[in-house]
Homo-oligomer: A and B are copies of this chain.
Amino acid sequence: MKVIVDLCVVPIDVGVSVSKYVAECQKVLQDAGLEHQLHAYGTNIEGEWDDVFAAIKRCHERVHALGAPRITTTIKVGTRTDREQSMQDKIDSVTESRP
């Protein structure tokens, strides 16, 4: 099952700046060979369900290992059976529908 995910990992009690931890998650996604795109409030990821969620688990493990005692993460997950759709397809589909 193919998924498109929006991932936002928030380490708690590591100070006001969390970018070091988010960068570590980018590295996890990179190392997993997953298509991903950082935006201003999260990262979009595209791939097989099991691969994507294994990478998200690894993000939690790595962020805890870097010193965060607590993490709260928000995930949006989209699946569909009617047709294949990539992250770029989703953006194009909105852009082409502009009134």
B1 lies within 8 A of A61 (CB) = yes
> What is the predominant secondary structure among interface residues of chain A facing chain B?
mixed
How many copies the complex holds: the figure is: 4
Beyond A16-B70, A39-B39, 16 extra complex contacts between A and B, CB < 8 Å: A12-B12, A16-B80, A19-B94, A20-B99, A22-B97, A23-B94, A27-B99, A38-B91, A40-B87, A40-B88, A40-B90, A40-B91, A49-B60, A71-B80, A73-B77, A73-B78
A65 CB to closest chain B CB (Å) equals: 9
Q: Flag A1-39 by CB within 8 Å of B: 1 or 0 each.
A: 100111010101101111110111011000000000111
Within 8 A of B (CB), among A31-65: 37-42, 44, 46, 49-50, 53, 57, 60-61, 64
| Bound CA–CA A19/B61 (angstroms) | 24
The 9 closest A-B pairs by CB, nearest first: A40-B87, A6-B41, A23-B97, A69-B82, A70-B80, A19-B93, A75-B75, A13-B16, A40-B44
